[in-house]
Amino acid sequence: MEGKKEEGIRKGPWKAEEDEVLLNHVKKCGPRDWSSIRSKGLLQRTGKSCRLRWVNKLRPNLKNGCKFSVEEERVVIELQAQFGNKWARIATYLPGRTDNDVKNFWSSRQKRLARILQTPTAITFSSKSHKTRREVSAPKFNCSSEGEPSSQAPSCSSPPPYIRNSEIIKMVPLPDIVKPESICFKTNPVQHELTITDKDPWNESQSVIPFLQNSQPQTDLFSSETQELLARFDPYFDMLVPLDASELGNGEPLPMEPPLFEPVGSCVSCEREQIDHTMAPDCLFDDFPTDMFDQLDPLPNISGQH
């Protein structure tokens, strides 16, 4: 049985000589009969270990030590959404990649995202070309837990709609799963910064589940990586939705850019936590692909519309 301690079984890193023996076996017998390698006394390795070594390292045409390309990442992300954690199945769509590669890639990615999303201090998006950050105006959503929340929406007052790329955009309330009072946003139309400050570090279910649900990446705007990351931030990016004309009542002209709001300091939760946004670490930004910010540029041009 598997649990029994077997004498003379080698474990750990493979030596070049062992690889050679394994390769010779495959040349002779093909990639099968793994357990016979040990029974014949060729190697002191289990059949499983031999198979794993062949599949992950010795097989021809493997892309060993080669980072996942953007296209490969896109494929993994799409197929993971489709198949779930079926790494072997996903790997069949990626020539030269093994299930282990895909699994490792995905788990590092998850770790990175988890770290980003659970950062207890302010998180800031900023353009890579803006290494020095300036104090910015921020939206105030007036997120207050006081009073009776409406049956549908949290008790956040939404900012007014505005025009972006010929579309009327409105901000909609966050999903209930995200406590409105625990987060404050600030956007900067000049630097395209969005700061999310959470009052409490999110636990795993809070940070992962909502970002995986209702994902509707903007497929026409961003690269796959960006789309995937945006999908995980869906509760926030979904706030920007096209507004039906019928929802506009008074016929007043709309601003051509996101409205400016009260200074950061006025954000309820930030105020409560005395968070200084100007001192917030630029911790998130480097984890986002640059094209994400490319798409945010340029600002709607009020005078120079074509």
Residues near DNA (CB under 7 A) are 2-3, 10-14, 32-35, 39, 45, 47-49, 51-53, 56-57, 64-65, 67, 85-89, 99-101, 103-105, 107-108, 111-112, 115
Q: Which is nearer to DNA, 123 or 138 (CB)?
A: 123
Give the shortest CB-65-to-DNA separation in angstroms: 6
End-to-end CA distance of the chain: 74
Q: Which is nearer to DNA, 84 or 160 (CB)?
A: 84
Alpha-carbon span 42 to 21, nearest angstrom: 7
Alpha-carbon span 211 to 230, nearest angstrom: 9
DSSP 8-state assignment for residue 12: S
Alpha-carbon span 83 to 267, nearest angstrom: 41
Omega of the bond prior to 298 within 30 degrees of 0, cis?
yes
- The residues facing 184 across adjacent strands are 197
Chain-centroid distance, C-alpha 101: 18
Q: Which is nearer to DNA, 14 or 257 (CB)?
A: 14
Give the shortest CB-79-to-DNA separation in angstroms: 11
Give the shortest CB-16-to-DNA separation in angstroms: 11
Alpha-carbon span 136 to 142, nearest angstrom: 18
Q: Which is nearer to DNA, 25 or 277 (CB)?
A: 25
Give the shortest CB-125-to-DNA separation in angstroms: 17
Q: Which is nearer to DNA, 13 or 251 (CB)?
A: 13
Give the shortest CB-70-to-DNA separation in angstroms: 14
